Amino acid sequence: MKNPSTNLLFFALVCFNVANASESTPPNILFIFADDIGQEVLECYGGQSYKTPHLNELAKTGMKFTHASSMPVCHPSRLTLMSGRYPFRHGRVNWGDYPKEAEAHTFSNYLKQAGYRTGIAGKWQLCLLGDDPLHPRRMGFDHWDLFGWHEGPRYYEPMIYQNGKVRTDTLGHYGPDLYVRSIIDFMKRNREQPFLAYYSMAVAHEVTDDLTPPVPHGPHGRYDNYAEMVAETDRNVGRLMAALNALGLREKTLILFVADNGTPPEIIIRAEGNELIKIPVVSRRNGQDVPGGKKQLTDAGTNVPMIANWPGTIKPGQVVDDLVDFSDFLPTFMDLAGHTLPADLQLDGVSFANRLRGTGASPRSFTYCEEAVLPKPGGVEPDGESSGLKWVRNQDWKLYNDGRLFHMAEDPLEQYPFSVSADKAEQARIRKQLEKVFADLGLSTPSQSN
């Protein structure tokens, strides 16, 4: 007769091994980085203007974050994302560039060191590929299909660099279809080893606005409107989910969806000769109209949707209020990959892998945002020079470097700032805490700036 205690021990070991499989086996990572999508756009965040069934399903069967902070525009968000460091750490960086001294220290290069195959498709915006067509290789990518930013179309009949060479097979094709196909093909080719598949979406950004003549209209005699681009965003998420299921990789793959900044206040809808016609973007959320907040340091510009889905590891239906900002992705990916970073590497990010595994919350106590990246001379993004504004915040309070303090839990539109002279005991305590964050980052505190 078998010893019952032996059976119990065996059962416990099996359960332990199953529970810890996600920690011992590095997951594939499908990182979906949407362009110009605010929280108010997604139904799973209370959006009412657009149908997003696949993203709803991703959130319903996964984990939805309520406090993910981006930068207010795309380039500083991407700089922070790739490096794990805030933009001001890199000094003055021209719009659309990436510091050469930081190229070896991207999350893609470190994942390659950890044994991952790395691929990217869609948007780059870390250099002009016409000037440096092999830049993605130095940044750690084995394969890429990226549109020529400010060189040609990104949507209809796009100009795409594939591994350093311009593709000649894009006539009659729609860019997002080609980018998704590239990601799916990459996952198929590399399904026997860990991979990073980085889908850097073109949607829902407007068309390139500084080409003469303007980029071609689509089949409707105009450019896609915002609702059509949101539908395309959601459709492509569904295509990628279906591809992972077909490949038998769903439980082996972490899907992480996040947007680079908020919704644009307006988009280009058509060209009349060389004149570009724009229309406003206003979305409905929880019964309220929400104008697009891109370029602003408000929640509408920087509090972005973020969804994580990993069947068998992430329990479904979770809504978490952990603080996350874009510097956290690099250390999180390294944690999941089981890869040790160089001891002398200085990062602003902290790993939230324990939250994904269900073993603990993120240790982050604040998020940081700045408006500090300047355009190239003659550039069109962003408009004008930076205001120099910065903020730090927690779930409830936000402090700007000009001294304005907002109780975000009660004043999400930032209409009623607290001034130092009007601070009561609670506001004074919070202000002191957040001023210390500025100081710990090596930045002037509001009291020093005024």
Give the strand pairing for 165-166 and 253-259. Answer: unpaired
CB-based contact 424:378 (threshold 8 Å): no
Q: Strand, helix or coil at 213?
A: coil
User: Other CB atoms closer than 10 Å to residue 56's CB: what's the count?
Assistant: 18
Task: Please provide the distance, in angstroms rounded to a whole number, between the alpha carbons at the two ends of the chain.
Answer: 80
**Given a cut of 60, is residue 209 above it in pLDDT?**
yes
Look up residue 63 and give its two tokens: 């984990």
pLDDT, position 384: 47
Residue 94 — pLDDT band, cuts 50, 70, 90?
Answer: confident
Mean predicted confidence (pLDDT) in 429-443? 96
Give the domain ranges of the chain.
26-370, 393-449
Q: Residue 108, class by beta-carbon neighbours within 10 Å (0-12 exposed, 13-18 middle, 19+ buried)?
A: buried
pLDDT, position 212: 87
- Residue positions counted in the chain: 450
Instruction: Provide the sign of the torsion angle of the four alpha carbons 364, 415, 439, 103, taken in this order.
Output: positive
pLDDT, position 16: 44
Residue 386 — pLDDT band, cuts 50, 70, 90?
Answer: low
Mean predicted confidence (pLDDT) in 421-425? 79
pLDDT, position 97: 87
pLDDT, position 21: 46
**Given a cut of 60, is residue 379 above it in pLDDT?**
no
Look up residue 438 and give its two tokens: 């500025």
Look up residue 64 and give its two tokens: 């939805």
Q: What is the pLDDT of residues 227-253, one digit of tens each?
A: 999 999 999 999 999 999 999 999 999
pLDDT, position 423: 75
pLDDT, position 355: 98
Q: What is the pLDDT of residues 176-200, one digit of tens each?
A: 999 999 999 999 999 999 999 999 9
Q: Is the pTM of this model over 0.75?
A: yes
Q: Which fold has domain 26-370?
A: Alkaline Phosphatase, subunit A (3.40.720)
pLDDT, position 6: 46
pLDDT, position 13: 42
Tokens 């239906």 correspond to 317
Residue 388 — pLDDT band, cuts 50, 70, 90?
Answer: confident
